[in-house]
Amino acid sequence: MCSPEYFAVSYEINPWMDAHVPVNRRRAVQQWQQLVRTYESLGHTVEFVEPVRGLPDMVFVANSGVVIGGRVYPARFRYAERRGEEGPYARWFDAHGFVSDGEAAFVNEGEGDFATVGDEVLAGFGFRTDIAAHDEVRSRLGADVVSLRLVDPRYYHLDTALAVLSDDNVAYNPAAFDASSQAWLATRFPHAIVVSETDAAAFGCNAFSDGHHVVVPSGAYEFIDALRARGYDPVPVDMSELRKAGGAVKCCTLELREANAR
């Protein structure tokens, strides 16, 4: 995770960002700190990346790369406004022992568009990540990658449209995907939780699950009820200030899968 110490909405690179809407940075930091405390209270270990002045979106650390089996596939951001994040993240991965094959050849935005479900990686494309990056993840990380096309610019990253709940199930907003991707998801995950447009717009899909607890933005009311009905333990957190930049729980969270874990 990375503190929103320098968080701001000073440019617009997704439909949620409005540089004319004031941002309360102090409140953003408080919400992020509550997310950290939530993870720690659930027994998770949190590692921290040092924020860099002038990189206001660095708090959305999920976009920094994909880590599987102790290896990292690093981000290569689409927009110039975020490319300055690549160096600090790469140095952090190297300093913490995550192996990389060097810079990515293709534009990709890390776990923003790559979601690990058991031994599969679901990979989004259409707005931020080039589909060629999917083959690069296959070759570098040895992963079985399934490509899914995103079609609604509000859900520009996979993690705004789909949440991994367990090693064999997900929640997703069907309207964020094209018809063939919808059909594949319905077949592959027949027991998935279908997230309504209202809850998707509240960033409900931008959630983190450890298989039992699901840390979820507090405004996704029907999704929270559905999780509880399915036997999960939803843990709502307020992400309203960070949502002004188009991110919430999962955007603020990179999962570090070490060599003995998937």
Catalytic residues: 157, 251
Rg, the chain, Cα only: 17
Residue 235 backbone phi and psi in degrees, to 5:
-125, 95
Q: For residues 65 and 89, is the Cβ–Cβ distance under 8 A?
A: yes
Burial 138-177 (b: 16+ CB within 10 A, else e): eebbebebbbbbbebebbbbbbbbbbbbeeebbbbbbebb
- β-pairing verdict for 233-237 and 213-217: parallel
| CB half-sphere exposure, 15, CA atoms < 13 A | 9
The sign of the CA dihedral 149, 155, 157, 163 is negative
Helices (H), the chain: 25-41, 80-83, 86-95, 132-141, 179-188, 197-201, 221-229
Q: For residues 51 and 3, is the Cβ–Cβ distance under 8 A?
A: yes
The region that residue 106 occupies, defined by phi over 0 for left and psi between -120 and 50 for alpha, beta otherwise, is beta
Q: And the tokens for 134?
A: 């999917």
